[in-house]
Amino acid sequence: MPIYLIGVNHTTAQSSKDGTPQGDVQKAYVETLAKAIRDVNAEYVAEEYSEEAQAQTERLSLTPKVAFDNGGKHRFCDATQEERKHIKYLGHQELHREIWMHDANWNISNEEAQAKAWALAIGKYFERRERFWLEKIGDIKNNRVIFVCGDAHVDTFGKLLEAEGWEVHVAARGIGVTDEDRHNFQMGVQYLHDHPEVLDEEWFQEMGVPDETESEQPQ
């Protein structure tokens, strides 16, 4: 069965303080999602978001209501903070902070630290997060699914899905994405191209987070 990806900016398009669309961008997201559900007769709408994220950001996803109103089931798929530790995932903001403060190049500029953080996120840490999503939808592979994710993940998650036998379509992308978002992503892609060795760095361990698999004792 096919899966249809919709790429968004989480804050500007996917969520609001009260879970209802505010402004043109969020209304466009709701309309796009509703139309996609109807057009492909989607049975499930999954998304890169979690109940924990809703509580932490005090922003509710717009997606569940749109799914239910158009005959689909909804599923949160993103990892909680505890689950991120388990899969050794770091986001670009965490990476940026740690690189800026602790990089081996002590004279690294803030701009280069940001580019390097995006490069690491795209080239190493995205896959860890996306594989978690893949597991969350593994049981509905024989259904028609729409998956909403950050626009930066559309290409990489699409390739991962295809490698796992999914029929991938991009229903929409760029919803709410800003010029700054595009600049940051392209900056990371360019840095990764110029410095492929960056992927040898494992900042999850550099941050001192214990490797649970290594610390486990035989039972």
Beta bridge partners of residue 169, listed in sequence order: 4
pLDDT value at position 209?
Answer: 47
Single-letter residue type at 174:
G
**Tell me: the pLDDT tens digits for 99-153?**
999 999 989 999 999 999 999 999 999 999 999 999 999 999 999 999 999 999 9
pLDDT value at position 212?
Answer: 38
pLDDT value at position 207?
Answer: 60
E strand map for the chain: 2-8, 15-16, 44-47, 60-61, 73-76, 145-150, 167-175
Lateral strand order in the sheet of 2-8: 73-76, 44-47, 145-150, 2-8, 167-175
pLDDT value at position 206?
Answer: 57
Mean pLDDT of the chain: 92
Query: Both ends of the chain: CA-CA distance in Å?
Result: 42
This model's pTM is above 0.85: yes
What confidence tier does 205 reach under pLDDT thresholds 50, 70, 90?
A: confident
**pLDDT average, residue stretch 62-88:** 97
- Six-digit token string for 146: 């729409």
The percentage of residues in the chain with a pLDDT greater than 70, rounded to a whole number, is: 94
What confidence tier does 204 reach under pLDDT thresholds 50, 70, 90?
A: confident
Instruction: Determine the Cα angle at 207 with ends 113 and 203, to 5°.
Output: 55
* Residue spans per domain, the chain: 2-205
